[in-house]
Amino acid sequence: MIKFFAGCTLFMLLSIASMAQRLEYGFNAFSTTYLGELNNSNTFLTNVRYGGGLHLRKFLTPWWTIRGDANWARIAGSDNLANPGTNAILRNLSFRSDIIDFDFLTEFHFREIGIRRNDYHMTPYVFGGLNLYRFNPKAELAGTWYELKPLNTEGQGFLEYPDKEPYSLTQVGLPFGFGLRWAVAKKWRVAFEASYRYTLTDYLDDVSGTYISPGVLAANRGTLAVQLADRRQELSNAIPAAADGDVRGAPRSNDAYVFVGFTVSYVVYRKTCPRWR
């Protein structure tokens, strides 16, 4: 599947380059955060991670561009503090996931920028589009990381729970955001940007609906699945095991992730008439 993603992205980038009149390419570096059940006010800062990637941009006009990005990012979440905060559910769950993310974007730049004396040197811009991404939530137990999807921690796909459907690790999303972009040299551009990535899944963290019967889960996926589905007893033996149907997540709200960081772009070709900076 990753090879398929890489092939699609390569085809898109070559297509952009083949019709370029003004082309830029560069790299991205950013911090990441995830928005979902396992991120609350007490753990937000500890859940910040990192990522990076490459981009290719073609100017259709001095203001409108099309852009393709290929990124790798890590996201993480944890609500394993003894005091999770007001209105938070005490779950003692945590995860991390590496995301391969391919973006297909349109940008609007509010003005042209350049390095000449009378040029604008900075412009705001906004962007939006579609992305194709693959994620894979994992949890750590006794020093070992385990993939969560094969464990079906909420009974997805079990005959005992026909209404719980397995989720796909490959998804389509809607990225959008804004940035500030500077001309720092004749052929170099630097930008600060922030993007919100709306997803169509509530399972970035493998948490969405309700707990299921530990006996049913053990019969279908073994004791490891039971350990990773309900970890509250690790905080206190006085906490009873979850009962079938107890609230585990918030299925009415999909998860999302955010990139905040910098891009550096190199201009490899310019149209000379009319003059673009």
**Top-level class of domain 2-269:** mainly beta
Residues 5 and 132: beta-carbon distance below 8 Å: yes
pLDDT in tens, 66-114: 999 999 999 999 887 655 554 556 789 999 999 999 999 999 999 999 9
pLDDT, mean over the chain: 88
Token reading at 239: 């906490």
pLDDT score, position 169: 98
Q: Where are the domains of the chain?
A: 2-269
What's the rounded Cα separation, in Å, for the pair 98 and 50? 10
pLDDT score, position 277: 44
Q: How confident is the model at residue 250 (pLDDT cuts 50, 70, 90)?
A: confident
pLDDT score, position 88: 55
- Average pLDDT of span 186-215: 96
Query: Long-range contacts: 81-84, Cβ < 8 Å, 24+?
Result: 81/42, 81/43, 82/235, 83/42, 84/40, 84/42, 84/43
Structure-token match 């551009």, residue found: 189
